[in-house]
Amino acid sequence: MSWFSHAAQPVQTETEAFWYLNLTSEQQAAYDKLLEHLKETRGLHKGHDDRFTLLRFLKARQWDVHRAAAMYQNMVKWRIEQHADHLYETFMFPEREEVLRYYPHFYHNTDKYGRPIYIELLGQTDPSKILEATTLDRLMHYHVCDVENLMRRILPACSVLAGRPIITKSVILDMKGVSMKTFGSAAQKILKTAITIDQDYYCETLGQMFIVNTPTVFRVIWAVVNPLLEERTRRKIVILGSDFLPTITQLVPLERLPTCLGGSSEVPEGLVSIGPWMDVQLSPSPAASAAAASPAATASVTDLQKGAKGARDGEDQDGTAAACGNGGDGGGGHSDLTSVDVKATTMIGPAPGLHQSATAPGRLARLGDEEEV
């Protein structure tokens, strides 16, 4: 984490952003051991047994296999107890429009690495009003469903568009207008609960976070928030004042930033989330390869191949291109491809080197992964 200053701050490099495609031999060995351990103990959880999920838990525990396994098993236990899959499929949140009035948040475009950008306008937030509109339990259920949607739909679609796996998001928190009144007991209760869920059960989904327009009172707020964050999370946070554009535009071009943050991209009425992933529909289809060969798809397929080539070449250089077995998230003999409907006109397959997860609909895996039977 860097504290705000008037000088532009460094942002993540491409290598840092795509750490999961640039493993060292020691990290690959840790992955192999974790996978073997979870297979032997029958600890792999359907839909969360892909290579990138296991790598996220390893990174969250500094590549310590035993600690990563314990964290992964706690995640599995939590998902079962919370009926997370059923929640995602059935949860309804009719109070969302009212909650948005007091808690403005939305996804808006992608950064230069193809990662979705999540934005919260915290200066316009009224936590006490949020908890009048809904309960903490329902708000957290909504939060879980939002993260599930990120994992199941947004990130896989971004992966197809980027031509390489995208497993993290960028975050911008706008503090303009925040006061200690904003950060009362209700806010702290909401924040603590959400941080616990994100860090423990959806670890390493944050790529980079910018906290902007930080007021003087933010130092007091940070003193409360800081102990709630693990060091791995703090390292991804850049704290900026009102002159944040020189730093943020290193990662997010002005034309992709919303106008409320000094960019030129309009935010739809009602804070509707927008991004290129909205024009992509993922669905398993044996006919995808045939559709990809159609004249209408040629340009799109070519673009994806170009985008993926660099990632594959980079992986080949450090020996990580051939992914090991991931307990169900794919297989060398898996023939189904992902159909992608772009603006409902172009049908294309997934980027080369990616295919549809066998156990997690919408999630993509790398070709060459061994399928667990």
Query: What is the model's pLDDT at position 267?
Result: 95
pLDDT band at 23 (very low <50, low <70, confident <90, very high): very high
Strand partners, 339: 283
What is the average per-residue pLDDT within 105-134? 96
Is the pLDDT confidence value at 163 over 50? Answer: yes
Three-state DSSP class for residue 279 = helix
- Listed in sequence order, the residues at least 6 apart from 135 whose beta carbon sits closer than 8 Å to its beta carbon are none
Q: For residues 373 and 364, what is the distance between their CA atoms, to the nearest angstrom? A: 18
Helix-, strand-, coil-residue percentages of the chain, each rounded to 5 = 45, 15, 40
| Tokens at 14, concatenated | 């491409």
**What's the rounded mean pLDDT across residues 30-55?**
97
Q: How confident is the model at residue 7 (pLDDT cuts 50, 70, 90)?
A: confident
Average pLDDT for 244-255: 97
Residue-by-residue DSSP string for 302-356: HHHHHHHHHHHHHHHHHT-SSPPP-SSS--TT---EEEEEETTTEEE-PPTTEEE
Q: Are 335 and 286 in contact (CB under 8 A)?
A: yes
- Residue 194 pLDDT > 80: yes
Query: What pLDDT, in 10s, does the model give residues 274-308?
Result: 999 999 988 654 333 333 333 333 333 333 333 33
- Strands of the 346-348 sheet, one edge to the other: 282-285, 337-342, 346-348
- Which DSSP category does 25 fall into? H
- Cβ neighbours of residue 142 under 8 Å, at least 6 residues apart? 91, 93, 96, 99, 134
Mean pLDDT for 232-254 is: 95
Q: How many CA atoms lie within 13 A of 164 on its CB side?
A: 22
Terminal Cα-to-Cα distance of the chain (whole angstroms): 43
Q: Is 38 in contact with 51 (CB distance < 8 Å)?
A: no
Residue 281 has a pLDDT of 82
Q: How far apart are CA 67 and CA 48, in angstroms?
A: 17
Q: Report which of 210, 117, 218 is spatially closest to residue 170, judged by C-alpha positions.
A: 117
Average pLDDT estimate for 364-372: 49
Backbone angles phi, psi at 13, to 5 degrees: -80, 170
Between 303 and 197, name the one with better pLDDT. Answer: 197
Whole-number mean pLDDT of the chain?
81
Highest mean pLDDT among 140-144, 286-290, 331-335 belongs to: 140-144
Query: What is residue 2's predicted lDDT score, i.e. its pLDDT?
Result: 54
Residue pair 170/251 in contact (Cβ under 8 Å)? The answer is: yes
Mean pLDDT confidence for 79-100: 97
Q: Of 110-119, 223-232, 354-363, where does the model show the most confidence?
A: 110-119
